Amino acid sequence: MGKVAVGAAVVCAAAVCAAAALVVRHRIKSSRKWARALSILTEFEEKCGTPSSKLKQVADAMTVEMHAGLASEGGSKLKMIISYVDNLPTGDEKGLFYALDLGGTNFRVLRVHLGGKESRVVKQEFEEVSIPPHLMTGSSDELFDYIASALAKFVATESDNQHVSPGRQRELGFTFSFPVRQTSISSGTLIKWTKGFSVEDTVGQDVVGELTKAIERAGLDMRVAALVNDTVGTLAGGRYNNPDVVAAVILGTGTNAAYVERAHAIPKWHGLLPKSGEMVINMEWGNFRSSHLPLTEYDQALDAGSLNPGEQIFEKMISGMYLGEIVRRVLCKMAEEAAIFGDTVPPKLKIPFILRTPHTSAMHHDTSPDLKVVATKLKDILEISNTSLKLRKLIVEVCDIVATRGARLSAAGIVGILKKLGRDTVKDGENQKSVVALDGGLYEHYTKFRTCMENTLWELLGEEASENIAVEHSMDGSGIGAALLAASHSQYIEVEEP
């Protein structure tokens, strides 16, 4: 072999060695990065841990805070608001009732025909109306006149066999999903607007009074019989269908709970005790917090950057508004520190709330062998393509950790309520059934969340107590629930009773 050939061979060998070394280095670098990604995942999983022992501490803390919130105003992070609902529907209600559900940029008007024990809800109709943007920042009269006019048009569509009895006013349940200081079953002052509304002259006013004046200006003879929030409405709808319902929980974009309390167990109640001996309490449980909650650095960062830092901590860990955002924050850290999506962090991944809970739910439920749904969501939402199956599996694990923690904490909260009512254990000789009504998109559509929550409930209560506890889906508390509360608080009930 000539010198040139030998030289060429040496050069070639050197090049091959160098290339091999690069490959090895790349693999080592890749495996180091992957190891970092796995270590972030493991640490996150540990910090999110919800063993039964911890959940029982959370349930106990919920019960303690409930007692404190009932004892005095401002005594707890839980507001424990007295709803003034002391008559839940029984199923005997008859007649035509209306509901108005105002909770965002759209409102609904509903008409419900109740037929008593035998025929229940004979007929229900509704119409959805969107609020023009200029009215969301205009005057109180303009906003409520617009709502009353839509209500009047809807009332005008009553059919011949669908009228209230002669000489009687129509009655309406008003679901108003904004912060209100309730002063009676049919009055409450607006504390502040949220969700893009800024109608300044309504703040501090009685919202029922504002609506009533607008109804009168529209020439409508209608009385607002009940001012309710959607969770109390869900409780009413649940009780109407099942007399064993004792509490209601909404797990949707936000979260809340309401339950039936013995009136004498509310130290801050200074009025006459209601005839029923019961009072519905709107817990506002999203604001619950405890040192036992498994908070992570991602929760703390999310809270610090939110519009209400230090508030709604429980809600930020369990509700649909935030689960997708927690997943995004974990993936962002993995992208920054372990380069899971390549050398640069995908720009879209840096946008807060771009990854919504329906997206993470779809990825979590992906059963295709190659996790095609995960790949599609990453591409469509975050513009991340060419991901490996190994990486897609990692992302599903993150979704699972976040949803599991939220579902298990929700179950602990429910156990806290049952504990407060003394219904978390079986007492000798008692066979008392307790049903919790649930509603909300998260509960309804995120199957793995729902299943995990229900299984955790049985795990915490134990086999014996679980036999007497059930959860039921109670739909449309803000609509039908409000109409049912108008019926159970009708001014004509005394007239009909023998």
The catalytic residues are 195, 230
Q: Which amino acid is at 106?
A: N
Reduce the DSSP state of residue 459 to 3 states and report it: helix
- Cα–Cα distances (Å) from 39 to 10, 29, 497, in that order, read 42, 15, 68
DSSP assignment of 194-240 equals -TT---GGGTTSBHHHHHHHHHHHTT--EEEEEEE-HHHHHHHHHHH
Say if CB 413 and CB 59 are below 8 A apart: yes
Burial class (CB in 10 A: 0-12, 13-18, 19+), 161: exposed
**Long-range contacts (CB closer than 8 Å, 24 or more residues apart) made by 201-206:** 201/139, 201/140, 202/140, 202/143, 205/140
- Cα–Cα distances (Å) from 273 to 51, 226, 378, 421, in that order, read 41, 19, 57, 19
Say if CB 112 and CB 476 are below 8 A apart: no
Output phi, psi for 462, to 5 deg. Answer: 85, 160
d(CA 357, CA 449): 11
